[in-house]
Amino acid sequence: ETGYMTLDTGYKNTGSCASTITYLDGNKGILRYRGYAIEELAEKCSFVEVAYLLIHDKLPNTEELNAFKSLLERFALIHEDMIHFFDHFPSHASPMSILSVMVNSLCNYYPEMSDDPLENIDMTAARLISKIRTIAAFSYKKSMGHPLVYPRHDLSYCGNFLNMMFDKPVKPYTVRPEVVATLNKLLILHADHEQNCSTSTVRLVGSAGVNLYASIAAGINALWGPLHGGANEAVIQMLEAIHADNNDFEKYINKAKDKNDPFRLSGFGHRVYKTYDPRGTIIKKACDEILTVLNISDPLLDIARKLEEIALSDEYFIKRNLYPNVDFYSGIIYRAIGIPTNMFTVMFALGRLPGWIAQWKEMREDPSTKIGRPRQVYVGEPERPFIPLEKRD
- Residues in touch with ligand SDX (CB under 6 A): 193, 196, 227-228, 231, 256, 264-272, 320, 322, 325-327
State how far the Cα of 356 lies from the Cα of 21, in Å rounded to an integer: 11
DSSP state of 58: S
CB atoms within 10 A of CB 347: 25
Nearest residue (CB) to ligand SDX, 58 versus 320? 320
Say whether 270 is catalytic: yes
| 30 SS3 class | strand
CA dist., res. 316 & res. 351, Å (int):
32
Choose between 269 and 354: whose C-beta lies nearer to ligand SDX. 269
Nearer CB in complex with ligand SDX: 155/272: 272
Residue 93 to residue 139: CA distance in whole angstroms: 10
- CA proximity to 374, closest of 8, 18, 17: 17
- The catalytically annotated residue of 167, 192, 277, 327 is 327
327 included as an active-site residue: yes
Q: Which one, 100 or 196, has the nearer CB to ligand SDX?
A: 196
- Least distance (Å) between residue 8 CB and ligand SDX: 24
CB of 155 to ligand SDX, least distance (A): 27
Instruction: Give me the least distance between CB of 81 and ligand SDX, in Å please.
Output: 33
Are 4 and 16 in contact, with CB atoms under 8 Å apart?
A: no
Residue of minimal CB distance from ligand SDX?
A: 269
Are 360 and 212 within 8 A, CB to CB? Answer: yes
Query: H or E element: which one contains 31?
Result: strand 30-33
For residue 159, the one-letter residue type is G
- Count of C-beta atoms within a 10 Å radius of residue 269: 21
Please state, in angstroms and rounded to a whole number, the distance separating the CA atoms of residues 43 and 52.
Answer: 16
Q: Which is nearer to ligand SDX, 73 or 327 (CB)?
A: 327
Which of the residues 8, 270, 277, 288 is marked catalytic?
270
First to last CA, the chain: 35
Which is closer to ligand SDX, CB of 146 or CB of 228?
228
Rounded least distance, CB 36 to ligand SDX, Å? 17
- Cβ contacts of 273 within 8 Å, gap of 6 or more: 24, 26, 29, 323, 325
Question: How many C-beta atoms lie closer than 10 Å to residue 389's C-beta?
Answer: 5
Provide the 3-class DSSP secondary structure of residue 364: helix
Residues annotated as catalytic (active site), given as ranges: 270, 327
